[in-house]
Structure 1
Amino acid sequence: MLKAFVNWGKTERIVPMKRRAQGEGSIYHRKDGRWVTTVYLENGKRKYLYLHSQEEAVRALQLANQAKMQGNLTNTHNETVEMFFLDWLRFRLQPRVRERTYQAYHDLIVKHILPTIGPIKLQKLTPMQIQQLYDLKRQQQYSPQTILNIHKLLRRVLENAVYLHHVQYNVCHKVHPPRQPKGI
């Protein structure tokens, strides 16, 4: 776009307006009244943010670029708990532990965790859903030690998700783990 500068009634010259740098993102206004912020991710894909005002869009672009520089902006919004947990088992855990340990973790995940919270998107997982999982296992008459083992495994896997920037924080930190049985 071009903009004319006026100085005491005289037009001096036409100067092009500054553009954003390549890959910095963009902001535009839609016909339905919303503002769209587009941010380019490291893998070449785009992330779109829809906002109500131009000020919100500018701020969102600044925050998104800052998160991208810190490595916190990822394109994992469609990843489910099941997808992440199975990938974690296969690529992060299996090469590092013995077969029996791997099988114990696999059984806990497949039998207890995935049927309940597997279809939930990883970034949408809430502490309430984790607490409901524990309550369900308590109603199914599982021992407190089994529920505690589920909690420890969930916490470990979600810590790995935070480390890999798939989620912002570990929701297990907001859930009270079941009490550990006496004598252990």
Structure 2
Amino acid sequence: MGERCGWCGDDPLYVAYHDTEWGVPEYDGRALWEKLILDGFQAGLSWITILRKRENFRAAFEGFEPEVIASWGEPEVSQLLTNEGIIRHRGKIEATIGNAQAYLDMGGTQAFADRMWGYVGGAPLVNDFASLGEVPASTPLSTQISKDLKKAGFRFCGPTIVYAWMQACGLVNDHIVGCPARQV
């Protein structure tokens, strides 16, 4: 067994996330949507910040149920802007509401999952990176998915955010060669 991917350091929460969740294929469309939203909130911040607040986000955003969030307006935005348990960024909060509407317009859970997994032929793309320095921040595929999502009405889903999301959801396997969590 080799060493785990170095990005998680030795923080127990981060290590557990790396070992049991990051890179594990997620096929549930609602869960994929939630992770895309959280990756959007991460923009400009470290993932550990979001990970530490994830349960607060889930509570504040009604379990990330797009059917609920899509109907929200200014009262809910104003309330969320006072919630110290989440990232209080108006643009990201408003984008979440719009992204819920876009998700539903795409057809919801199964349609979203099928569309996202369709980009990779239904199975994770496996990369063979020997070090973190080889892992790209974005790829032509993440750029294409980003463009498609934006065309569908999504926001906070640029190519870098989309690639991080693809890694987190297991659409790509970027565990470095030798990482015990790689499981290829």
**Which one has a larger percent helix, Structure 1 or Structure 2?**
2
Q: Greater RCO between the two (CA within 8 Å, min separation 6)?
A: 2
Structure with greater strand share of residues: 1
